[in-house]
Structure 1
Amino acid sequence: MADGPFRGQKTSNCTSVSAFILQGFSVIPEMQTISAAIFLLIYIFSLLGNISVITAVTLDSHLHTPMYFFLKYLSFIDLCSTSTTLPRALFAAMAGSEVISLPACAAQLFVFVFCGATECFLITSMAYDRCLAIYQPLTYGSTMTQQLCYALVGVAWVSGLLYSSFHTANIFTLSFCDPLLEHFFCDLPPLVRLSCTDPHKHETVGFIVGGCVIMSCLVLTVLSYILIVATVLRIQSTQGRHKAFSTCSSHLITVILFYGTGSSTYMRPANGYSPLQGRLAAIFYSILTPTLNPIIYSMRNKDMKAALRKLYICGP
């Protein structure tokens, strides 16, 4: 390929790129406009859903409890996550400007990974909250204080920043020779595939760090639900068991969506990565899951539905 705006400094065995070309939602040009229109509607729906949850929890005093406190921050992270990837991809599809500079790509990757990691820690905190509420209801109020809630959110944010900083630095110390990024945003697996240097060491270190962090959160979440299930099964009344399970069902669905969609992409080596499968999986974990979370928590929660009715109908 001739030198152009995507070529940068020479390395020992290749010419590094200074910008990438995002392939978009589809390899078929005719599908780009249709895909952009669909994802624009989904993005608007995601914005409205997450902003509604944040506003309802903030304004309704009945929702000033730890469970909804964590939900508000989860919605904020989901809002940031979709806003990091979709607006740029939609602009590229509709305006035909697929070029993204190397610094902009690094910034997009940093924010997206930060949002994903922070959500992982928040989901773990929410599982711990539900576990305390069911397993130790008598001491729940004195244990899950406002200070502890803020501390858990703070740990999630700081951990997300550290995790994202590591992965961004780990990826962008590689050299890239091909500017064509077969994705609609800058994500880890497609970037690793573009490396013209051996990415094995970087990939192995990233896999170990990511696996340790994610598996630690998953194990803590699973242990929390083991205690929850064991406690609920000891409840004598059917109504009591149903009430206990109903407080966890929305969070459990979120856990399944989060780990189920993300693991298919991030827990496999780059040489087994398929661009088509990667785009399809990314649609689920970067677009649909953050969009569905407000629906999941609203449809299965009477207090949230009542707060949203008051918010939009201005009545009981």
Structure 2
Amino acid sequence: MANSTMVMEFLLLGFPDGWNMSLLYFMLFTVTYLGTLLGNLLIVTVTTADQNLHTPMYFFLRNLSILDMCFISVTVPNACVNSITGNRAISVGGCETQIFLVLFCACVELLFLSIMAWDRYVAICQPLQYPTIMNTQFCVRMTLASLLSGLVYAGVHTGNTFQLSFCQSNVVHQFFCDIPSLLWLSYSDITSNMILILVSIIIFGGGCFGLIIMSYIHIFSTVLKYPTTASVKAFSTCTPHILVVSIFLSSGTGVYLRSSANSDTLQDLIPSACYTMVPPFLNPLIYSLRNKQVKEAVMRVMGRQFFSGKRCRCISALS
């Protein structure tokens, strides 16, 4: 132990299966990243520009879209650059920052999804009380509380991880820095770290998932009293929401509770990609682009931009 050297940087193994597959992964990750940015940026633009979408539901949706763009930007661009350049080194400080940002975005993502499920419950099951409950002050407070909770959650787990000693292998079997991969690189006792992760998953993840499920159960029980078309619409809208949340939680839980983080097979990388890439990519499709109000708002905003540009060209021509 006296002759060991403390780790000054980590090496991200990235994608397995050789150069040809790495190029395929690069293309897949790049398309997913650009699609995520485009979809979420469209939502932010439309919900900001159209006055009809200045409601609590679209307020949280706009915040979720901004968060999703940040979430996927923490891991994917760096992974794509590393796969092409072959430079897989990341400093300890850079690794710490990446872990903190991933945990922060994941925590706030789950809280936003829970709040949005609660918003739909109030809107459908208690419509008369909706303006009173989901007022502007409540929405701002819940957003700030989610961000603060994310900072605390990420700070606790990141600080607890980097209190460990790393002086053996510095190879991270992942395309980004995550806690499980680092825990298995440390020669320190990681029992307290694993207990903290388990407790966090049970209390925080389980609590948020329970709130989402209960909200949708009440929504389903309410819409079943309505005509068939309303029931079908509610099921077609809520079921994809539950599916995305389930993918997010199950893949994230699988990553953090796996028995070994020293494998670089594709099967071990898929869960990490699922919880960091799938929700940001699918949320615009599920929450907005399938929504009639958003489609109409997109057409209105595009129409205003078109006629505004045409009017400016006419004025320039006359002058």
TM-score normalised over the length of structure 2: 0.88
Deviations 1:244-302 (A, max 9, x none): 44554553343233223323323x24448754333111122112321121122234210
Q: Distance in 2 between matches of 1:117 and 1:51?
A: 21
One-letter amino acid matched to 2:207: S
One-letter amino acid matched to 2:275: Y
Q: Distance in 1 between matches of 2:130 and 2:192?
A: 45
- The correspondence for 2:179, drawn from 173, 181, 188, is 188
Q: Which residue of 1 aligns with 2:13?
A: 23
- Work out whether 1:92 is the aligned partner of 2:54: no
- The correspondence for 2:272, drawn from 275, 282, 300, is 282
Q: Which residue of 1 aligns with 2:65?
A: 75
| Contact 1:178/1:194 (8 A) holds in 2 | yes
Between the two proteins, the alignment pairs up a number of residues equal to 304
- The correspondence for 1:164, drawn from 142, 154, 164, is 154
Q: Distance in 2 between matches of 1:249 and 1:101?
A: 42
| Contact 1:19/1:99 (8 A) holds in 2 | yes
Q: Which residue of 2 aligns with 1:65?
A: 55
Q: Distance in 2 between matches of 1:230 and 1:274?
A: 45
- The correspondence for 1:125, drawn from 111, 115, 121, is 115
- Work out whether 1:220 is the aligned partner of 2:220: no
CA apart distance, 1:96: 1.8
| Contact 1:192/1:270 (8 A) holds in 2 | no
Report the 3-state secondary structure (helix = DSSP H, G, I; strand = E; otherwise coil) of the residue aligned with 1:21.
strand
- Choose 1 or 2 for highest CA Rg: 2
CA apart distance, 1:56: 0.9
> Structure with the greater relative contact order (CA < 8 A, sep ≥ 6): 1 or 2?
2
- Work out whether 1:204 is the aligned partner of 2:172: no
Q: Which residue of 2 aligns with 1:7?
A: none
Give ranges in structure 2 of 5+ residues lacking alignment. 308-319
Q: Distance in 1 between matches of 2:252 and 2:208?
A: 14
Q: Distance in 1 between matches of 2:237 and 2:306?
A: 25
Report the 3-state secondary structure (helix = DSSP H, G, I; strand = E; otherwise coil) of the residue aligned with 2:194.
helix
Q: Which residue of 2 aligns with 1:301?
A: 291
Deviations 1:64-99 (A, max 9, x none): 111111111111111001110011111111222110
Deviation beyond 6 Å, 4+ runs, structure 1: none
| Contact 2:220/2:231 (8 A) holds in 1 | no
Report the 3-state secondary structure (helix = DSSP H, G, I; strand = E; otherwise coil) of the residue aligned with 2:6.
strand
Report the 3-state secondary structure (helix = DSSP H, G, I; strand = E; otherwise coil) of the residue aligned with 2:127.
coil
Q: Distance in 2 between matches of 1:273 and 1:117?
A: 25
Q: Does the C-alpha gap of structure 1 residues 244 and 96 become closer, same or farther in structure 2, counting only changes over 3 Å? A: closer
Q: Distance in 2 between matches of 1:145 and 1:274?
A: 49
Report the 3-state secondary structure (helix = DSSP H, G, I; strand = E; otherwise coil) of the residue aligned with 1:17.
coil
| Contact 2:205/2:249 (8 A) holds in 1 | no
CA apart distance, 1:190: 1.3
Identity %: 37
User: RMSD between aligned alpha carbons?
Assistant: 2.2
Q: Distance in 1 between matches of 2:258 and 2:273?
A: 20
Q: Does the C-alpha gap of structure 1 residues 240 and 31 become closer, same or farther in structure 2, counting only changes over 3 Å? A: closer
| Contact 2:180/2:261 (8 A) holds in 1 | no
| Contact 1:126/1:251 (8 A) holds in 2 | no
Report the 3-state secondary structure (helix = DSSP H, G, I; strand = E; otherwise coil) of the residue aligned with 1:100.
strand
Report the 3-state secondary structure (helix = DSSP H, G, I; strand = E; otherwise coil) of the residue aligned with 1:228.
helix
Q: Distance in 2 between matches of 1:257 and 1:312?
A: 34
